[in-house]
Amino acid sequence: MTQLDVRPQAGDTVSGVADGDVRGKGLGKGSVGLVGSAVIGISTVAPVYCLTSTLGSTAGEVGLQMPAIFLAGFLPMLLVAFAYRELNKAMPDCGTSFTWTVKAFGPRIGWMCGWGLVIATIIVLSNLAGVATSYFWLLAGEITSNPSIAALDDNKLVHIATCLTLIAVATAISYRGMTATKGVQYALVGLQLVVLAVFVAMAFQKASAGTFDTGLDFSWSWMNPFAVESMAAFTAGLSLSIFMYWGWDACLATNEETTGSTKTPGRASLIAMVVLVGSYLATGVAAQMAVGSGGEGLGLANEETSDNVFAALASPVMGPVLGILLFVAVLASAAASLQTTFIPVARTVLAMSTYEALPPSYAKVHPRFKTPGRATVMAGAATGLFYTVMTLVSENVLTDTIFALGLMICFYYSLTAFACAWYFRGELRRSSRDLFFKGVFPVLGGLLLAAVFCKTLFDMWDPAYGSGSTVLGVGSVFIIGVGLLALGLVIMFVTERRSPAFFRGEVLTKSTPSLVVED
């Protein structure tokens, strides 16, 4: 085992080697409980934001089978969640997917898995910041009844300046540690779930009263995924559904800071998943009963409103006064997710640096706040730079980057699921529980996501995918998605020349003890 040699700078605490080969990272122990961990998982997913941006698109792809697609997307995520839970029990390390895949498959596959998580999170952070900015000005216009204020979002410089301000605020809150994070999240997550519950209740009321001509009576056939008209429509809907669940694994990224580190994060992730699927099903069914899934009027699939369903339904369903609360909820959802999404990327970078897979400077932990300070600031700066450049270059490029996100999500989730089965392969015959929870379920989840990865990769080749932009006749979404993965390979080879010990398998192996946090 190569010992970590990191020389601290003034004002920094550096993770190092504690008790032999166990890598202590200096994070604040016991600062998150079961409820706090679950709230972080829900917040990172941003359910209200996901619903307003994907309800219409999903209805446009699969029609009345939208609730069934929500269930279908939940299945591979649940199976992968079992893999995360089992791996966390054995290795409660904040590097999560990176650390686990290194131990299962070796340093290079593990490094690329970590890269997939990091780049996916940067893309999501930039998108969340942009959505929060748009809703900030939209809400300001609604409150003041002044369309010119809402129109400020169309001014590119004003939009970028507001976006960078929100990123800076979110970075500062994350930098100050889990205690500050929890306080903000309880308020923001509580607000969005309460408002969402009010919307669902009022949508059911409008449906029973037959308020809208396009409303429908409930049918159990909506829960049948096999009723989707084509495989292409099913795959497109499934990709949207999988995106709606992304981010629950933030529960696991706080494992070294959670009380009961080997059990609590896994339980929290499952609680978050149940809350999410319940919220999605209730909202989808209520909205479909109230206004239908067609493309006319208030129908969910109306192309003029499908990219922001709640903006169209807020006032008709909840009234002009309560409808403003729905705008507030979407803003709160995007802002809350923007802040918590820093957690997994900063802690993955911290772990990669601790195990010498990245420069040692990112292994620094703030002595007071017990957070990966430099990694958090780096994530914020990268997000701001990425969004600014993409916005100035082309709105189409920014849109296509978001479409390429699904590729990254399926990439690192499926690798982690396969890593679980491979890591525990010697234990699968010990009991039926080990066989299913460490082997069968993770492999099924990994195969489902790998299939979506391959199908998405194939679809991306078509120039019509995403914004319709092309590069030498190839869809720009394909170029961006594959290009980002290729960029990871380049950075990995450069890093290997500077930190050969990790890539020789001398720093992190299957036998390397993981950090044990006292409960």
Give the residue from 184, 185, 146, 140 showing the smallest Cα distance to 159: 140
pTM of the model: 0.84
- pLDDT of 16 above 60: no
Mean pLDDT of the region 87-103: 91
Cβ 411 vs Cβ 457: under 8 Å: no
- pLDDT of 516 above 80: no
pLDDT tens digits, one per residue of 381-408: 999 998 898 888 766 666 677 777 878 8
Torsion angle of C-alpha atoms 119, 122, 128, 134, degrees rounded to 10: -120
Here the tokens at position 421 are: 């089965």
Residues near 332 by Cβ (< 8 Å), separated by ≥ 6?
48, 188, 191, 192
d(CA 426, CA 300): 49
Work out whether strand 16-18 and strand 22-24 pair parallel, antiparallel, or are unpaired.
antiparallel
d(CA 255, CA 350): 13
Mean pLDDT of the region 358-370: 82
d(CA 247, CA 276): 11
Picking from 101-115, 143-157, 485-499, which range would have the lowest pLDDT averaged per residue? 143-157
d(CA 217, CA 209): 11
Confidence of residue 411 (pLDDT cuts 50, 70, 90): very high
Give the residue from 27, 75, 39, 34 showing the smallest Cα distance to 248: 39
> What is the structure's pLDDT at 396?
67
pLDDT tens digits, one per residue of 171-199: 888 887 666 566 678 888 899 999 999 99
Mean pLDDT of the region 305-330: 87
Of the segments 40-49, 53-62, 223-232, 439-448, which one has the largest average pLDDT value? 439-448
Cβ 142 vs Cβ 150: under 8 Å: yes
Mean pLDDT of the chain: 84
Cβ 161 vs Cβ 381: under 8 Å: no
d(CA 184, CA 441): 35
Cβ 206 vs Cβ 286: under 8 Å: no
Q: How many CA atoms lie within 13 A of 254 on its CB side?
A: 39
Of the segments 47-51, 55-59, 205-209, 395-399, which one has the largest average pLDDT value? 205-209
Here the tokens at position 226 are: 């096999």
Torsion angle of C-alpha atoms 446, 358, 348, 113, degrees rounded to 10: -10
- pLDDT of 284 above 90: yes
- pLDDT of 459 above 70: yes
Confidence of residue 343 (pLDDT cuts 50, 70, 90): confident
Q: For residue 437, give the DSSP letter.
A: I
- pLDDT of 21 above 60: no
Q: Between 493 and 30, where is the model more confident?
A: 493
> What is the structure's pLDDT at 146?
86
d(CA 21, CA 7): 18
- pLDDT of 9 above 70: no
Q: Give ∠ CA 78-80-85 in degrees, rounded to 5.
A: 95
d(CA 72, CA 24): 39
Q: How many helices (H) and strands (E) does the chain have?
A: 20, 6
Cβ 67 vs Cβ 281: under 8 Å: yes
Confidence of residue 3 (pLDDT cuts 50, 70, 90): very low
> What is the structure's pLDDT at 467?
64
> What is the structure's pLDDT at 145?
83
Here the tokens at position 436 are: 């299913």
Give kind and range of the element (H or E) at residue 22.
strand 22-24
pLDDT tens digits, one per residue of 114-165: 999 999 888 888 888 888 888 888 888 888 888 889 888 888 899 999 999 9
% of the chain at pLDDT higher than 90: 34
> What is the structure's pLDDT at 144?
86
Partnered with residue 365 across adjacent β-strands are: 13
Q: How many CA atoms lie within 13 A of 286 on its CB side?
A: 22
- pLDDT of 206 above 50: yes
Give the residue from 441, 382, 351, 472 showing the smallest Cα distance to 167: 382
> What is the structure's pLDDT at 92?
86
% of the chain at pLDDT higher than 70: 89
pLDDT tens digits, one per residue of 110-125: 999 999 999 988 888 8
Residue-by-residue DSSP string for 57-68: HHHHHHGGGHHH
Mean pLDDT of the region 42-58: 87
d(CA 447, CA 93): 25
Q: For residue 465, give the DSSP letter.
A: S
H helices of 246-341, in order, are 250-253, 264-291, 309-340
Give the residue from 41, 35, 33 showing the smallest Cα distance to 259: 33
Residue matched to tokens 């809703």: 135
d(CA 254, CA 494): 29
State the chain's maximal CA–CA distance in angstroms. Answer: 70
Residue matched to tokens 């499908």: 306
Q: What are the respective helix, strand and coil percentages of the chain, to the nearest 5?
A: 75, 5, 25
Residues near 162 by Cβ (< 8 Å), separated by ≥ 6?
133, 136, 137, 153
> Backbone dihedral region of 83: left (phi > 0), alpha (psi from -120 to 50 degrees) or beta?
alpha
Q: Between 464 and 312, where is the model more confident?
A: 312
